[in-house]
């Protein structure tokens, strides 16, 4: 009997309490975001109210947001850029990843290495000259500047991920197909690609998330209100001078966070398996 | 004439044919779009960054070559030296925190817990959600007047006076460190968890029969086997944290009085706000030696395996 008690105590103090602390740390900001976006201004700024709860939920902040700001433009820009860039990077990543995982040709190893190195290059290292490159293409202050630049960090990521995935697929399947008369590309599209679906979905999804969240390039290349993406527009357009409209800011942050959170809750299983197999094999 | 023209290519053709059918052509053609894009939008800008950093370019004027004067000027600039120091503090403390907490969290998640997937998903959230938006929430949580963090800490009796989170040089650094840890911890924990799951159970069973218990099992089995994953994750995170921008930019803007200014935020301020593009590029390039060092370390590590 005592031993059983001891075991339960050990489980509570050794597992549940610390885990609860971690969960609180991770989730409290989201709770606060949610709470703040459904409060009316008088309740939001009332220090005597029960601050960790909400008395009269209201959609005021959201109404203000849609009425007064270009949030629909920002959402559309984010969707457009993220969708297009993850599609482009996915396609080029599948091609490059397959080649580097399977084919032997002079320079293949060097390209693999280059992929890895470019994967590590932070965007803040080159954002200043990239701004002038983008300008010389006539793309500054347009979302196309993001469409062309985001693949520079997405392709290395997708390629690196997919090399690991393709390598985990047995070679003899496609060799059989090639003996039966399939071309190399045919074997890749018909045999290997279907088997690599989890890796492909994971890379595409993660690319979408990375584009959706990107900040430095979007901040540097785009200045007009209507061309901004969510991640940049909310902190730059909704803070006017010294005035912080916290209700609106939190409502907008919530709207900007929900799409990726949803995307990722639908594909949760792909996500965890992708993270746990692909990311660390390199 | 005609007969010569027809006769000549013959010895070449088999070679061309072999090349056309070979893996090399397929290989080169399939990676060329990616390579082209990377050359134009990554390699070229990098070369341009090196060139610009050697000029005194300002916004709107091309500037002239001044060689290393930007770098020399920076190394004598007390603000820049403070930036170097801040970046160093910011990176080492967050990476260390994320590593220790990440190992603890991974060990917790590796046990049998109810609603395991839900818990894992919830813990990943800070890493998935757009950083700029979640950092805005932290900015609101650290607000000088309405700080809910102070509200909770005061309510629990952990502090007796409000902490000036973003208004004080010391606490501002603490704030950015907390937020960076909050954001990066999920990546560490999930990666470590993946590493933990590959450790065979038999090893622990064998150790138990030899009489090893809790901490010794962790020290002699878990940690050594987890070491490769730890090395990779720490290295990645070190580079990304060193080059971090958004958290500091949104939370403190480098302030108060430059107490949280780090490389990327200073480069942004100097190049794009003050318009001294040459000098700004030079600041960005200080990230490069760190990157290079990390890459060399990584390559050595990969080669050893």
Structure confidence by residue, pLDDT tens digits, A191-240: 888 888 888 988 898 899 999 999 999 999 999 999 999 999 999 998 87
Q: Tell me which range, A34-38, A173-177, A244-248, B63-67, is most confidently predicted by mean pLDDT.
A: A34-38
Q: Which residues pair with A240 in a beta bridge?
A: A243
CB contact under 8 A, A159 and B34: yes
Q: What are the DSSP calls for A163-208, one per residue?
A: HHHHHTS-THHHHHHHHTT--HHHHIIIIIHHHTHHHHHHHHHHHH
**Residue from B129, B270, B305 whose CB has the most chain A CBs within 10 Å, to mutate:** B129
Give A213 to chain B, closest Cα distance, Å: 4
Is the CB of B295 inside 8 Å of chain A's CB atoms? yes
- Nearest residue to A124 (alpha-carbon basis) of B288, B129, B251: B288
Q: Does pLDDT of B3 surpass 60?
A: no
> Is the pLDDT score of B294 beyond 70?
yes
Residue of B nearest to A266 (CA): B121
Q: CA–CA separation, A264 vs B125, rounded Å?
A: 9
Which range, of A8-12, A85-89, A147-151, B1-5, averages the lowest pLDDT?
B1-5
pLDDT, tens only, A1-21: 677 888 888 888 888 999 999
Find, in chain A, the residue whose alpha carbon is nearest to that of B283. Answer: A125
The label of the residue with tokens 């005021």 reads A60
Q: Tokens 């390209």, residue? A: A111
CA-based nearest residue to A248, from A40, A27, A29: A40
**Whole-number percent of chain A with pLDDT over 70:** 94
pLDDT at B2 exceeding the cut of 60: no
Whole-number Å distance between alpha carbons of B30 and A192: 15
Domain range summary for chain A, segments of one domain joined by +: 1-31, 69-281
Q: What pLDDT was estimated at residue B93?
A: 97
Residue bearing tokens 């390598």: A167
B127 reaches A (C-beta below 8 A):
no
Specify the residue for token string 């801040």.
Answer: B86
pLDDT tier at B12, thresholds 50, 70, 90:
low
Q: Token pair 């991770």 is at which residue?
A: A26
The number of helix segments (H) and strand segments (E) in chain A equals 17, 2
Has residue B20 got a pLDDT over 80?
A: no
Which has more confidence, A187 or B13? Answer: A187
Q: B133: part of which helix (H) or strand (E)? A: helix B131-141
Long-range CB pairs of A60-68, under 8 A, 24+ apart, other chains included: A60/A247, A61/A37, A61/A247, A61/A248, A61/A250, A61/A251, A62/A37, A62/A251, A62/A255, A64/A247, A64/A248, A65/A248, A65/A251, A65/A252, A65/A255
CB–CB contact B284 A125 (8 Å): yes
Residue A281 has pLDDT above 50, yes or no: no
Q: What is the pLDDT of residue B4?
A: 47
Residue B33 touches chain A, beta carbons under 8 Å: yes
The beta-carbon neighbor of B45 closest among A32, A133, A252 is A133
Is residue B7 scored above 60 in pLDDT? no
pLDDT, residue A282, reads 38
The vertex-B59 CA angle with B58 and B63, nearest 5°, equals: 35
Query: What SS3 state is found at B61?
Result: strand
The mean pLDDT of B42-65, rounded to a whole number, is 89
For A273, residues 6+ apart whose C-beta sits below 8 A from its C-beta are A198, A202
Over residues B47-56, the mean pLDDT reads 92
Provide the shortest C-alpha distance from residue A247 to chain B (in Å). 10
Nearest to B137 among A33, A131, A159 (CB): A33
Q: Do B134 and A29 touch (CB under 8 A)?
A: yes
Q: Which residues contact A200 (CB under 8 A, 6 or more apart)?
A: A90, A94, A162, A165, A193
Which of A165-179, A197-211, B97-111 comes out lowest in average pLDDT?
A165-179
Render pLDDT for B256-265 as a digit per residue (tens, 0 to 9).
Answer: 989 999 999 9
Find the angle CA(A210)-CA(B238)-CA(B174) to the nearest 5 degrees.
95
Write down the CATH number for the domain with range B77-304.
1.10.3720.10
- Name which of B33, B129, B287 is nearest A257 (Cβ-Cβ): B129
Q: Is the pLDDT of residue B266 over 60?
A: yes
Whole-number average pLDDT of chain B: 88
Q: For residue A239, what is the enclosing H or E element? A: strand A239-240
Residues of chain B with CATH 1.10.3720.10: 77-304
- Nearest by CB to A265, which of B108, B121, B284? B121
Residues in chain A: 282
Q: Sorting pLDDT into bands at 50, 70 and 90, what band is B198?
A: confident
Task: State pLDDT tens for residues A82-126.
Answer: 999 999 999 999 999 988 988 888 888 888 888 888 888 888 999
Q: Domain A69-281 class? A: mainly alpha
**Whether residue B214 has pLDDT greater than 80:** no
Q: Out of A179-188, B110-119, B121-130, which region has the weakest mean confidence (pLDDT)?
A: A179-188
Query: What are the residues facing B55 on neighbouring strands?
Result: B65
pLDDT for the residue numbered B100: 97
Q: pTM for the complete prediction?
A: 0.90
Tell me: pLDDT of B6 over 60. Answer: no
Instruction: Tell me which of B18, B22, B34, B122 to substitute to probe the interface with A (most A C-beta atoms closer than 10 Å).
Output: B34
Torsion of CA A244, A245, A246, A248, to 10 degrees: -140
pLDDT at B97: 97
Q: Cα–Cα distance between B70 and B56 in angstroms, integer?
A: 8
Give B296→chain A minimum CA distance, Å: 10
Q: Cβ–Cβ of A117/B128 closer than 8 Å?
A: no
């Amino acid at each position: 009997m005592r031993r059983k008690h001891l075991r339960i105590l050990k489980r509570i103090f050794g597992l549940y309490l610390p885990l609860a602390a971690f969960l609180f740390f991770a989730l409290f900001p989201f709770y606060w975001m949610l709470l703040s976006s459904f409060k009316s201004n008088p309740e939001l700024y009332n220090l005597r109210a029960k601050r960790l709860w909400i008395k009269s939920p209201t959609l005021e902040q959201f109404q203000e947001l849609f009425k007064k700001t270009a949030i629909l433009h920002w959402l559309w820009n984010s969707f457009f850029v993220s969708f297009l860039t993850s599609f482009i990077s996915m396609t080029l990543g599948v091609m490059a990843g397959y080649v580097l995982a399977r084919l032997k040709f002079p320079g293949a190893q060097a390209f693999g290495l280059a992929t890895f190195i470019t994967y590590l290059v932070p965007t803040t290292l080159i954002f200043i000259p990239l701004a002038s490159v983008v300008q010389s293409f006539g793309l500054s202050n347009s979302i196309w500047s993001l469409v062309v630049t985001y693949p520079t960090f997405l392709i290395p990521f997708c390629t690196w991920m997919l090399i690991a995935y393709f390598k985990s697929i047995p070679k003899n399947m496609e060799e059989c197909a090639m003996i039966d008369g399939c071309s190399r590309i045919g074997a890749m599209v018909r045999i290997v690609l279907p088997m690599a679906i989890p890796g492909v979905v994971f890379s595409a999804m993660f690319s979408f998330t990375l584009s959706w969240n990107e900040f430095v390039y979007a901040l540097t290349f785009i200045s007009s209100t209507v061309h901004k993406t969510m991640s940049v527009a909310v902190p730059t357009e909704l803070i006017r001078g010294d005035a912080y409209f916290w209700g609106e800011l939190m409502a907008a942050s919530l709207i900007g966070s929900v799409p990726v959170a949803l995307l990722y809750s639908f594909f949760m299983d792909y996500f965890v398996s992708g993270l746990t197999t692909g990311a660390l094999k390199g | 004439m005609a007969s010569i023209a027809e006769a000549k290519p013959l010895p070449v053709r088999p070679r061309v044919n072999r090349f056309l059918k070979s893996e090399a052509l397929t290989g080169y053609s399939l990676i060329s779009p990616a390579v082209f894009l990377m050359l134009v939008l990554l390699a070229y800008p990098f070369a341009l960054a090196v060139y610009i950093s050697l000029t005194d370019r300002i916004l709107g004027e091309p500037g002239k070559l001044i060689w290393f004067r930007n770098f020399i000027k920076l190394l004598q600039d007390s603000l820049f030296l403070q930036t170097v120091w801040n970046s160093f503090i910011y990176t080492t403390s967050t990476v260390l925190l994320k590593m220790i907490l990440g190992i603890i969290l991974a060990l917790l998640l590796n046990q049998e817990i109810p609603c395991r997937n839900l818990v894992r998903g919830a813990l990943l959230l800070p890493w998935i959600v757009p950083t700029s938006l979640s950092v805005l929430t932290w900015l609101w949580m650290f607000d000088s007047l309405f700080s809910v963090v102070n509200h909770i800490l005061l309510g629990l009796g952990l502090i007796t006076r409000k902490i000036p989170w973003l208004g004080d040089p010391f606490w501002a650094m603490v704030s950015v460190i907390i937020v960076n840890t909050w954001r990066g911890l999920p990546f560490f924990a999930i990666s470590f968890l993946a590493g933990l799951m590959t450790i065979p159970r038999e090893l622990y069973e064998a150790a138990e029969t030899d009489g090893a218990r809790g901490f010794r099992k962790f020290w002699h089995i878990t940690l050594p086997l987890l070491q490769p994953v730890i090395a990779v994750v720490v290295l990645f995170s070190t580079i990304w944290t060193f080059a971090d921008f958004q958290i500091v930019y949104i939370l403190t803007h480098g302030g108060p009085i430059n107490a949280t200014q780090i490389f990327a935020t200073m480069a942004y301020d100097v190049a794009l706000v003050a318009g001294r593009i040459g000098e700004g590029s030079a600041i960005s390039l200080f990230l490069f030696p760190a990157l290079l060092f990390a890459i060399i370390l990584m390559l050595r590590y990969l080669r050893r395996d």
